[in-house]
Amino acid sequence: MVTLNERLQHAREALNALDAPTPPALRAAVRTPGHGRFAAVAASLVIVAVGLTVSAVLVSSRHPSIKSVDTVADTTAAPTTPSITEPAVAATSTTEPSMFERIPTEDLTGALGPLQINPGTSTVNVAASEGQTLTIASSNGNLCLNWTLPSLDVAMASVGCYDYPGIAAFVNERSHPTTRLVAPFDITILAPDNTQLAVLNKDGSEACDLKPTPIPEIGAITVWICTGNTPAQGWDLRFTQTEKTFVSDFPHSSAPQVANPLPAIGDPIPVGKPIRADWVMSIVSDTPWTADECPPLIPVSRDGIIIGYIHNNYTECGHQVTPGPTIIYDAKDNPIGTFINGEPVLNSDTTPST
């Protein structure tokens, strides 16, 4: 009888016998080691470039044209790997944002306009045409959902949107390079506890039965999951958020016990300094990741209130190793803080609204 070792050995030899992958030019790197100021400028250029790209796409999406199936990216195509020496603009404009990236908040809030869903907003309509990609992002820029309409099928990917203070949605015409799914589809969204969400067809019927499941172990957060069976016939997607998120709505509970006490859930994040939550690693895993390697996930409400602590086991690091600039807004959409390396920091001249 064949042994496990023989099977494993055969598998390894077969893998090694495949065409050896040769390292391409490193893609879209924005930092030259040892040149911090240059890195910052380069990163800014990338951010601006992404912003321009997203803005341009959004502008064009307001006059959507029906795309043929041929315009959808080939799902088997190799990823674009522009040279490290290429200008940042070129690198960014040809690279599909991966699930590991964040979309600069400025672009979402500035360009989305009526498509942004803020607490208290009743309904937002998002029309997606054939060949477009519909992207749902949190208002601080994290990509939540991304799906494509390659023909008249519904396509989507489902990922959690963990540092989620609100929902923003927009349509663009870039297709995800690896995801082409058709109806029925699944949607997963993380939202503050007091948020009600619905996904509706344009005739008002429910596109899917969105079921809430509170996850108190990580804070005042509910995960919404649904499966839709609606064939896409140029349908609209509506997310409805029926309740405004107030500070007082978030239950006060203790932060995890650590050497350096963290703010309690329901407390405002500290003014002018980041929350150091590297405790997250040590209490949930025998793997001593540091916050630097795997930034913590701290969901914050729009007005700077901590609504949970997510125990960041290291399997999530893949989503978090490249945090981008994000902004925290108050209830009136004034910027009051930012996320720095995944850690929320309130501006020193602002006080969370209560």
Partner 1 sequence: MSVDFDVFYSSDYESVVRIGWSLTGDRAIAEEVAQEAFVVAHRRWERIQRYDNPGAWVRRVAINQSLSWLRRRRVETSGLARVSRERLSEVTAPDSTAEVWRALRTLPKRQVEVLVLVVVEDRSVSDVARILRCGEPTVRTHLRRGRLKLAELLGVDEEVSNGHAK
Choice from 37, 63, 70, 76 touching partner 1 (CB under 8 A): 76
Instruction: Convert residues 79-118 into a mask of x (bound to partner 1 by CB under 8 A) and - (unbound).
Output: x-x----------------xxx------------------
**Would you say 267 or 293 has its CB closer to partner 1?**
293
CA 175 – CA 135 distance, rounded (Å): 10
Written in H, E and C, the secondary structure of 100-161 is: CCECCHHHHHHHHHHHEECCCCCEEEEECCCCCEEEEEECCCEEEEEEECCCCCCCCEECCC
CA 294 – CA 272 distance, rounded (Å): 22
Q: What is the DSSP letter of 178?
A: S
CA 337 – CA 139 distance, rounded (Å): 13
Instruction: Tell me whether the omega of the peptide bond preceding residue 184 falls within 30 degrees of 0, making it cis.
Output: yes
Range in contact with partner 1 (rule: CB under 8 A) among 23-31, 46-54, 129-137, 237-245? 23-31
Measured from the CB of residue 182, what is the shortest distance to partner 1 in angstroms?
5
User: In the block, which residue shows the tokens 């502008």?
Assistant: 59
Choice from 12, 252, 273, 332 touching partner 1 (CB under 8 A): 12
**Tokens, residue 267:** 């407390």
Residue 33 binds partner 1, judged by CB under 8 A: yes
End-to-end CA distance of the chain: 70
Choice from 83, 110, 186, 247 touching partner 1 (CB under 8 A): 186
Q: Which residues, including other chains, have CB under 8 Å from residue 126's CB and lie 6 or more apart?
A: 115, 134, 169, 170, 171, 236, 237, 238, 239
Find the binding residues for partner 1 in span 263-322 (CB under 8 A): 286-289, 292-293, 314-319, 321-322
Answer for the pair 82, 49: CB distance below 8 angstroms, yes or no: no
Find the binding residues for partner 1 in span 193-222 (CB under 8 A): none
**Would you say 233 or 287 has its CB closer to partner 1?**
287
Instruction: Convert residues 40-69 into a mask of x (bound to partner 1 by CB under 8 A) and - (unbound).
Output: ------------------------------
Choice from 27, 67, 244, 276 touching partner 1 (CB under 8 A): 27
**Would you say 89 or 181 has its CB closer to partner 1?**
181
Choice from 78, 213, 257, 260 touching partner 1 (CB under 8 A): 78
Nearest residue to 169 via CA among 217, 110, 126, 218: 126
CA 226 – CA 234 distance, rounded (Å): 20
Q: How many residues bind partner 1 (CB under 8 A)?
A: 68
Footprint of partner 1 (CB under 8 A): 1-8, 10-12, 14-16, 18, 20-24, 26-31, 33-34, 39, 75-79, 81, 98-100, 153, 156-159, 178-186, 188, 227, 286-289, 292-293, 314-319, 321-322
